[in-house]
Amino acid sequence: MLRRVLAWVAAVIAGAVLGGVSAWAALEFGRSSFFEDYGAWRHSRATGSAAAGPYTRAIIARDGLLALSAREALYFTIYQDDEGRALDETCIYELTGRQFAARWWSITLYADDNFLAQNEDHAASIDASHVSVGSDRRWRARVSTVRGDAIYWLSSRNARRDFSLTLRVYNPQRDFRASADTLPTLTRISCLGDVS
């Protein structure tokens, strides 16, 4: 009798665990099918899209709960530099780009924990209101722990290793086309400990 009860309990537990794990795996796998890569920038079509079924809805909720609809804003995130290395606060980067075919844009730096880096530099983001392009019609911003002589600066102080940058493009125009050429490029200039 006891053996039978234990067998049923084991069946219930095994079934529940298997169901939960398979659902989690389905969301992880399904999530990657929404990714689009433009150079080093990653865009998830799930963020701000309309749900077409229970799996899509769950993926959207996980990746962009209460996000703006894709008509209102597009989100792109970069986790690596131009040579595929993880972003690190011990390095200095240059971010360059053109103006976008959109009403407004911003780029925000997030620490490895996905929150704003814990510093008092008031340099967590740059945006279209404050950035001007040069004679080559490109703007340049520095990503580093100190501003130095940079005109536009994103502070990576206390962002640690594996920080990221998110580009938000608001009210993109019809001719806005995301591509490796239209999105900004992030170039590593130097790192602490580099041998010159």
Closest by CA position to 118, among listed 148, 156, 89: 156
**3-state secondary structure at position 34:** coil
Structure tokens at 5: 């009860």
Closest CB to another protein among residues 9, 189: 9
Interface with another protein (CB under 8 A), residue from 16, 133, 146, 151: 16
Q: Is 52 helix (H, G, I), strand (E, B) or coil?
A: coil
Q: Is 137 exposed, middle or buried (0-12, 13-18, 19+ CB in 10 A)?
A: exposed
61: contact with another protein by CB under 8 A:
yes
The span of 16-24, 33-41, 146-154, 176-184 binding another protein (CB under 8 A) equals 16-24
154 and 60 Cβ atoms separated by less than 8 Å: no
Interacting positions 132-161 with another protein (CB under 8 A): none
Of positions 29, 35, 104, 176, contacts another protein by CB under 8 A: 104
Give the Cα separation of 49 and 56 in Å (integer). 9
- Rg (alpha carbons) of the chain, rounded to whole number: 21
Smallest separation (angstroms) from another protein to the CB of 8: 7
Q: What is the binding site for another protein (CB under 8 A)?
A: 7-8, 10-12, 14-16, 18-20, 22-24, 26-27, 48, 50-51, 54-55, 57-58, 60-62, 65-69, 71-72, 103-104, 106, 108, 110, 114-120, 124-125, 127, 129, 166, 168, 170-171
